[in-house]
Structure 1
Amino acid sequence: MPSVKLWYSPGACSLAPHMLLNEIGQDFEAIRVPIREGAHLTEAFTRLNPKKRLPVLALDDEVITELPAITLAISQLAPQHHLMGGTPLAQARVLEWLNWLSGTVHGQAYGSLWRPQRFTDDETLYPAITAKGRQTVADCYAMIDAKLTSPHAVGDGLTAADAFLYVLYRWGVGIGLDMRGTYANFTRFAENLAHRPSLQRAIATEGLAPLEPYPI
């Protein structure tokens, strides 16, 4: 078994792999890199990950970035847990979720809402970009809510898609969406997942409350 390290920022998308490592009972070192304090922009962290993004996973000397790749690497540490799905079709569905959540919901929607400077240098356009980002979040959450008709996003067991969806639920609370009133399925899903010991341990380590807003 390799030596495992996870670099995380409290409440960020790194909470998902943090939960998954707990879920499989993996011993690992959790290294706090608070985004709000700019810790991901330091020279030391940039040497680790020139993308200046979290999470980062290290298996011995191999450094892995990007959430779908990180969750795949974690699933391979304990394949009996089927974190990427237990059948070929389920694996495709988990990847389908992860790619859309990371690319569209996280990168495009929340990227526009929180980081409009990534899309233009013209500051006069920032309000329009952030407004579009908020609308895209709402549209994506409506789609998520329609899909979450059972306790898990894929199949009958926990997968990496569930962990990422829980993070995004917290973010919805954080930006002031009426999650409970507008997204009832998504809310039931998140509340059910919040009882899972692996998530509770990750939240305790990160100094968070189970469903408190993401500290933007």
Structure 2
Amino acid sequence: MPDIKFFFAPGACSVAPHVLLHEAGLPYEPIQYNYAATEIQFPADYTALNPKRRVPVLVVDGEVITELPAVSTMISQLAPEKQFFGKTPLETVRVYEWLNYLSGTVHTGTYGQMIRPWRWTTDADPKAHERVKDKARERLVENFAIIEDKLQGVYAVGDGLTAVDPFLYILYRWAKTRSGIDLSPYPKYTALVGALEKRESVKTVLAKEGLEALNV
């Protein structure tokens, strides 16, 4: 078995690959960093590991892998029988289509502005930060409408769990706990989240990270 180290922060986007590691049954060394308000507290030597100073990071036999889609891809390659990137070539394309949208648009482009608005403006006025957050909430509603429309079954792609589903889970979780938006217009998305919380992998990760189930 490869030597795996997994760097994460409780409740961060790293929840998604954390779930995949448990779905795959891969042994790994967990390395947890915690939050100070909205920023993760990284030790000084973390910059040498990941100059971006973000999670998740996966280290496999000394190879450092960053960025959630890349980390998820590596986990999938370590457990190909789990088919985390789909069962057919088209499903694999759909998984990457989802991951690019969720990572670039929803996670960075929307939640990045909502949670850390000061990164998106040179204006230090707290009122300007609130305006950035208000616009991000508008975009989140648009994002979730697109997600709801794309969902067709229990899972995002095909008839089994892929790398997309735990990523969708954490994005919904943030909406539930941080955004204040009404989630009732998204019954398919809510059903997916409810189905995921019944899986042992998700229950295990929530317990390890000290998070309460949403129980939607």
Q: Which residue of 1 aligns with 2:181?
A: 177
CA contact (8 A) 2:137 2:181 kept: no
Partner amino acid, structure 2, of 1:47: A
CA distance in structure 1 between the partners assigned to 2:140 and 2:132 by the alignment: 12
Q: Which residue of 2 aligns with 1:127?
A: 130
CA distance in structure 2 between the partners assigned to 1:77 and 1:40 by the alignment: 29
SS in 1 for 2:65: strand
Q: Which residue of 2 aligns with 1:164?
A: 167
CA distance in structure 2 between the partners assigned to 1:6 and 1:36 by the alignment: 20
Within 5 Å, give how 1:75-114 maps onto structure 2: 75-114=76-115
CA distance in structure 2 between the partners assigned to 1:35 and 1:94 by the alignment: 30
User: 1:39/1:145 Cα in 2 relative to 1: closer, same or farther (>3 Å)?
Assistant: closer
CA contact (8 A) 2:33 2:42 kept: no
Deviation at 1:129, TM superposition (A): 1.5
Q: Which residue of 2 aligns with 1:16?
A: 16
CA contact (8 A) 2:147 2:189 kept: yes
Within 5 Å, give how 1:26-105 maps onto structure 2: 26-36=26-36, 38-105=39-106
Worse-superposed segment, 161-170 or 139-148: 139-148
CA distance in structure 1 between the partners assigned to 2:97 and 2:30 by the alignment: 28
Is 1:6 paired with 2:9? no
Deviation at 1:184, TM superposition (A): 1.1
Partner amino acid, structure 1, of 2:8: Y
SS in 2 for 1:105: helix
Worse-superposed segment, 161-170 or 41-50: 41-50
Partner amino acid, structure 2, of 1:121: T
Cα root mean square deviation, aligned: 1.6
Gaps of 5+ in 2: none
Partner amino acid, structure 1, of 2:144: Y
CA contact (8 A) 1:6 1:57 kept: yes
Deviation at 1:182, TM superposition (A): 2.1
> Which whole-Å deviations, capped at 9, do the CAs of 1:100-122 have from their partners, x for residues lacking one?
10100000001111112222221
Gaps of 5+ in 1: none
CA distance in structure 1 between the partners assigned to 2:62 and 2:13 by the alignment: 23
Partner amino acid, structure 2, of 1:157: G
Deviation at 1:148, TM superposition (A): 1.8
Deviation at 1:39, TM superposition (A): 4.6
Q: Which residue of 1 aligns with 2:205?
A: 202
Please give the TM-score of this superposition, normalised by the length of structure 2.
0.93
SS in 2 for 1:5: strand
Deviation at 1:178, TM superposition (A): 2.3
Deviation at 1:177, TM superposition (A): 2.2
CA contact (8 A) 2:5 2:60 kept: yes
CA contact (8 A) 1:40 1:53 kept: no
Partner amino acid, structure 1, of 2:23: E
Percent of aligned pairs with the same residue? 46
Determine which structure has the larger helix proportion and give its number: 1
Please give the TM-score of this superposition, normalised by the length of structure 1.
0.93
CA distance in structure 2 between the partners assigned to 1:4 and 1:43 by the alignment: 22
Is 1:139 paired with 2:142? yes
